[in-house]
Amino acid sequence: MKAKTLRTAIWAICAILSFTASASVYDPAADFSLDSNPNGPWSYGSKGAVTGALTLFTEHSSGSQTEGWRGSSTWPDSYPAIQHNWSGVVFDDGGGWVVPPGGMDLAAGPYGKYADLRFTAPLSGTYDIVGVFTSNMHSYGGFAGATVDVHVQVNDGTPFLDGLILRYGDAVPFSQRLTLGKGDTVDFLVGPGGNGFLADSAGLQTVITAVPESATAWTGALAAAGMVAGLLPRKTPRQ
Ligand SMILES: [Ca+2]
């Protein structure tokens, strides 16, 4: 094989390997859909406590700028709920509930119920989970705002994050690197805060980045292949 052809082949392989080694990114707000539940790696549902079985939502909700999942259209099963502002502008219901453009909102429910956004790992590997819970509920007309407890847990185990949001402006950030097997779950939970349910919800922004474990090896292979390609003799211009 001529050097030029070989060099081209190596660079092509590098391009393919580079694509293979790239990270996959999962964003529940960008991925939000009413088409199905589960929706790819995302499931929308509720739990009776921080640990316990997930009950998938079966009903849709909709508003002027929002769409969502819930267990029923009838109280008290209309909460918990998981909603999404699909519009490109801030949603303000005029009663204190404000959801940023493209934002998600996890509402707790009566009787201590939790909203649960679940991520199921599509592949075994290393995952970086970064995000923040925030208050979406302003004080309004003497109402102080949502009072909720928030958690992130793996496989329904002891949460690696526990936090409280007790007033507008509170935020609970998290950043965690996890090794997950295919089918392992990460639950993002919002509950009523242990003080009863009254307009209790929180915003959630999170991005999960999956980096295949082979990425490190690919990086080495890419560097070596790139060096080889660079070292191959180039055609000398005619004198
Ligand atoms: Ca509460």
**Ligand 1 center from residue 165 Cα (angstroms):** 9
**Ligand 1 center from residue 66 Cα (angstroms):** 22
**Ligand 1 center from residue 115 Cα (angstroms):** 13
Mean pLDDT of 124-148: 90
**Of 168 and 237, the one with more pLDDT:** 168
- From its phi and psi, is residue 178 left (phi > 0), alpha (psi between -120 and 50) or beta? beta
Q: Collect residues with CB below 5 Å from ion ligand 1.
A: 147, 192-193, 195, 200
**Ligand 1 center from residue 108 Cα (angstroms):** 8
* pLDDT score for 213: 64
**Ligand 1 center from residue 95 Cα (angstroms):** 17
**Ligand 1 center from residue 149 Cα (angstroms):** 8
Mean pLDDT of 26-46: 98
Of 42-56, 101-115, 133-147, 217-231, the one with minimum mean pLDDT is: 217-231
CB 137 within 8 A of CB 186: no
* pLDDT score for 21: 52
**Ligand 1 center from residue 193 Cα (angstroms):** 5
Cα separation of the two ends of the chain: 25
**Ligand 1 center from residue 52 Cα (angstroms):** 20
* pLDDT score for 143: 76
Question: What is the secondary structure of 51-94 as a DSSP string?
Answer: SS--EE--EEEE-SSEEEEES-SSTTTT-SEEEEE-SSS-EE-S
Q: What share of the chain in percent tops pLDDT 70? A: 79
Cis ω before 110 (30° cut-off from 0): no
**Ligand 1 center from residue 112 Cα (angstroms):** 9
* pLDDT score for 168: 86
Bridge partners for 161 per DSSP: 152
Task: Output the pTM of the full model.
Answer: 0.82
Per-residue pLDDT reduced to its tens digit, 37-55? 999 999 999 999 999 999 9
Per-residue pLDDT reduced to its tens digit, 138-174? 877 777 789 999 999 999 999 999 999 998 889 999 9
**Ligand 1 center from residue 200 Cα (angstroms):** 5
Question: What is the secondary structure of the chain as a DSSP string?
Answer: --HHHHHHHHHHHHHHHHHHHSPEEE-TTTT--SS-SSBTTEEEEEESSSSS--EE--EEEE-SSEEEEES-SSTTTT-SEEEEE-SSS-EE-SSSBEE-TT-EEEE--STT-EEEEEEE-SSSEEEEEEEEEEE-B--BTTB----EEEEEEETTSS-SEEEEE-STT-EEEEEEEEEE-TT-EEEEEEE-TTS--SS-EEEEEEEEEEE-TTHHHHHHHHHHHHHHHHHSPPPPPP-
**Ligand 1 center from residue 150 Cα (angstroms):** 11
Contacts of residue 109, Cβ cutoff 8 Å, sequence gap at least 6? 46, 76, 77, 79, 80, 81, 115, 192, 197
**Ligand 1 center from residue 88 Cα (angstroms):** 29
